[in-house]
Amino acid sequence: MRIWIVGASSGIGEECAVEFASRGESVILSARRRDELERVRQRCLDAGAAGAEIIQLDLSDTGSLEGLAQKAWDTYGGLDILLCNAGISQRCDTAETSVSIIRKIMEIDYFAPVILTKCILSRMLDAGGGQLACTGSIAGLFGSRQRCAYSSAKAALQRFYETIAAEYGDRGISTTVLIPGRIRTDISLSAIEASGKPHGVMDPGQQKGIPADKAARIMVKAIYRKKREKLVGGVELLMAYIKRFFPSLASYISSKVTN
């Protein structure tokens, strides 16, 4: 199969790329840092990828995304799977978060994947079908402290994908929303603080999360099985069920949990 992974230069995206490669798939790797993409590309080839190509992109430059989506589609003569994994988090309370930071996070975590998804969706419909997958977050299931924009963006993206499933499921389009909890990646290091600077700290909860390669194996299996939704993580995933059945308790826990 032909798979485009957006956000493939580290963490979950990198490990998903290598997992797909180990199954003999053809992958396209996208992110901002070309040097890191070259490193991941070599890992994919060593793992057994049928092909591994790079398309460098910057999700904050939304005006360039439609052309890059066409380039990705043309690379292997079409795509079977799009995995929108890239994103950025935050570490600041709502009152301290400027609208410019909220807009930046929404642009990268919501509008950019929406643009890419719409571009590929139209082509998949013309081709007779395909699969669209995105990495959401457990933070998108309920309000989380110091995540006002991040939680909002992930919630919006998850609902966007559910809408596509409702509209196009009978036309050969399947969607998979991956909902990770705490995964041991560098996402907290690059999270935006109120000053606009990177957080630069590995949060204790993040440090205790499951390894990225383990998360990737679960995610890739869910994509192959065309699961509509898949929770990925450890004990923190209990919050998804607490939110569903005991919303008041979930609100209380959310107010106490920090990083």
Enumerate the active-site residues: 150
CA dist., res. 175 & res. 104, Å (int): 26
CB atoms within 10 A of CB 110: 19
Q: Are 5 and 20 in contact (CB under 8 A)?
A: yes
Strand order in the sheet with 51-54: 51-54, 26-30, 2-6, 81-84, 130-135, 173-180, 229-232
CA dist., res. 208 & res. 47, Å (int): 27
Contacts of the segment 162-166: beta carbons below 8 A, 24+ positions apart: 162/228, 164/117, 164/121, 164/132, 165/228
CA dist., res. 111 & res. 213, Å (int): 27
CB atoms within 10 A of CB 104: 17
What the block records as the tokens of 136 is 């959401």
What the block records as the tokens of 167 is 């509209």
> If DSSP codes are grouped into helix, strand and coil, which group holds residue 54?
strand
CA dist., res. 91 & res. 187, Å (int): 11
Alpha-carbon distances of 210 from 35, 236, 237, rounded to whole Å:
26, 11, 12
